[in-house]
Chain A
Amino acid sequence: MNIAVCVKQVPDTETRPKIDPSGKKMSEEGVKWILNPYDEFAVEEALQLVEKNGGEVTVISLGPAAVEPTIRAALAMGAQKAIRIEAEENPADPLVTAKALAEVLKQGNYDLIFFGKQAIDDDYAQVPQMVATALDLPCATVVVKLDIEGEKLTVEREIEGGKEKLSLSMPAVISAQKGLNEPRYRSLKGIMKAKKIPIETVQVELASGQLEIEKVKFPPEKQPGKIVGKGADAVPELVRLLHEEAKVI
């Protein structure tokens, strides 16, 4: 099997973001970068499939050379190849990203293309679906279970209050949700091996963006509330406040 996994470098979940002086993006100063958590499930699934069926896994990411540590993090899990699509910065418009990825992916003749269900920085949750549409491929998103029989895929995707079972066939695009598998730890051996894998750099002409971020701001700050009291004795007062003051029950 020939599998591609598209990954993104994102700020660690513990990050308390600051705003860039331009007011149009998050400040990158002092940010600790990680492999997007949902992408780890994507990489893991690809690796398990290749371990079972043979083949190789190619990690693909779009961005400047500064995203290479994240590509290496995916390689350290066990992927064999890596491609970085050159871009000065991460495009604000997800359609631009999707078109660039599709351009590179169509040359790879992949049986499966994995993504994380969304990047935890801009939370767009749309690049996988756009790439699938660009390549005219079937696509299932937010996948928590995947079974393969020959060319046929049966997947379960998470929906409100349950799951949807879909059937599709390869080649296909899958976006991974937490629960799909248990991502492996990166072993020291894996990390050392990943250092020696060359990252191929490709140039793609980026489309012009049609989505602009005008302003980044902090959400309205919540007014500090009150401590109603201590222990079970405070419950009647809490219920009164919820009923009479907040009127939510």
Chain B
Amino acid sequence: MSHILIVYEIRDQKIKKVSFEATSAGVDLANQLGGTASALLIGSAVKDLAPEAGKYGVEKVFLIEDGGLEKFSPDVMASAIAQVAEQVGATHILMGATALGKDVLPRTAFLLNSPLVQDIIGYQVNDGKVTYLRPMLAGKLHTEVSLSSAYHLATLRPNVFPVKESPSSPEVSTLQVELPAPKAVVEEILAEAGGKLDVTEADIIVSGGRGMKGPENWYLIENLAEVLGAATGASRAAVDAGWRDHAEQVGQTGKTVSPSLYIACGISGAIQHLAGMSSSKYIVAINKDPEAPIFKVADYGIVGDVMEVLPKLTEEIKKLKSE
């Protein structure tokens, strides 16, 4: 019988949304395969979070609680997940394709002698066989992947799988595993000033390119982002010019994003940029050049100068929000 184990990501004593997305996908996969889905919470004090997992339909919640987990170590977490998988007889292990999931799950995969399908955007079950859909070349192509390994491991791209509430009363149990001595330890988390929202987690992104003409004009992007509660992004041109930090870069040598709304300001739409953002649900392009390739992927376009359009857009959205 299939047993889908969803590994939760907890930051600041809160479960990340992507873990619930992965839970909904995992529960669905369990239903399609005729199996069961469980949640795994790992940390120094995670018991209080267990009921939350019950909102999305898992049958069991497993806890690994250990004071030694207060200082986070990716290798220790990877080992704990592998041990739990063996103990509970998991067949599939799912986790969010976040900085944490992408770092930890490959290590678990190695320990279980199984490959990992990183960053999936879909899956399909045919006659009990699962194929996973994932992008390559930052989304220029999609691939359907199948596994013949003992375990199926996958990380799920945030913002792609819908969260479906399906309350259950899961049985909560604390498991014992042998935690190895950590090889690398997180000493500190250095948050960006103002607790900036990351482009990979944002529902709306306002992104700027060369057409912004310089970092001094970025307040236009930031103002719009603020009224929308959006993250700010940048094209490679803007990052390479030193206007913006690389953490904001969207595209093939930056981040691949799938927000509900992507507003491209003064971005021409080079193929490497389009690869990183064209799976956004809605795309707005503002560009002076009516021939810019960005308009080919945009749902709505305005041909015009970002310097004039952006302030007006910020003002109009402010008006709408106050209504």
Q: Is the CB of A213 within 8 A of B143?
A: yes
Question: Restricting to B229-252, which residues have a CB under 8 Å from any CB of A?
Answer: 239, 245-247, 249, 252
**With an 8 A cutoff between CB atoms, is A161 at the interface?**
yes
Which chain B residue shows the least CB distance to A23?
B144
**With an 8 A cutoff between CB atoms, is B88 at the interface?**
no
How far apart are the CA atoms of A13 and B225 in the complex, in Å? 28
Q: Is the CB of A15 within 8 A of B137?
A: yes
A200 to chain B, nearest CB (A): 26
On whether A239 and B313 interact (CB within 8 A), knowing A168-B185, A248-B261, the answer reads: yes
Instruction: Number of B interface residues at 8 Å Cβ cutoff, please give it.
Output: 96
Specify which chain A residues have a CB less than 8 angstroms from the CB of B190 in the assembled complex: 156, 162-165
Residue with the greatest number of chain A CB neighbours at <10 A, chosen from B100, B107, B131:
B107
**With an 8 A cutoff between CB atoms, is A185 at the interface?**
no
The prevalent SS among residues of A at the interface is mixed
Which chain A residue shows the least CB distance to B297?
A222
How far apart are the CA atoms of A144 and B192 in the complex, in Å? 14
Q: Is the CB of A228 within 8 A of B252?
A: no
Q: Is the CB of A126 within 8 A of B300?
A: no
Specify which chain B residues have a CB less than 8 angstroms from the CB of A38 in the assembled complex: 253
Q: Is the CB of B107 within 8 A of A225?
A: no
Q: Is the CB of B247 within 8 A of A26?
A: no
Q: Is the CB of B281 within 8 A of A126?
A: no
Interface stretch (choices A63-71, A80-88, A134-142): A134-142
Q: Pull 26 A–B residue pairs with CB atoms less than 8 Å apart, ordered by A.
A: A13-B252, A15-B271, A26-B141, A120-B252, A123-B135, A126-B106, A129-B106, A137-B183, A138-B183, A138-B184, A139-B107, A158-B247, A159-B98, A160-B198, A161-B191, A162-B190, A163-B190, A166-B186, A167-B184, A211-B115, A212-B147, A216-B143, A222-B278, A224-B296, A231-B305, A249-B320
A: residues with CB less than 8 A from B are 11, 13-17, 19, 26, 37-38, 93-95, 98, 120-130, 132-134, 136-142, 144, 154, 156-168, 172, 177-179, 209-219, 222, 224-232, 234-236, 238-239, 241-243, 246, 248-249
